[in-house]
Amino acid sequence: MKRRERNSIFDKDKFWLGIVIGLCLPIAAYGILLTAVDFVDAQFLPPDMSISRGFRERTLSVIAICCNLIPFHIYNRRYANNTMRGMVFPTMLFVALWFWFYGRHMVGLS
Domains: count for the chain? 1
Q: Give 67-103 as a DSSP string.
A: TTHHHHHHHHHTT-HHHHHHHHHHHHHHHHHHIIIII
Give per-residue pLDDT as tens, 85-101.
999 999 999 999 999 99
Give per-residue pLDDT as tens, 15-59.
999 999 999 999 999 999 999 988 888 888 777 776 677 778 899
Whether residue 3 is contained in a domain is answered as no
Whether residue 32 is contained in a domain is answered as yes
- Residue span of the structural domain in which 101 resides: 12-107
Mean pLDDT for 56-75 is 94
CA distance 52 to 35: 15
Model pTM score: 0.82
Whether residue 1 is contained in a domain is answered as no
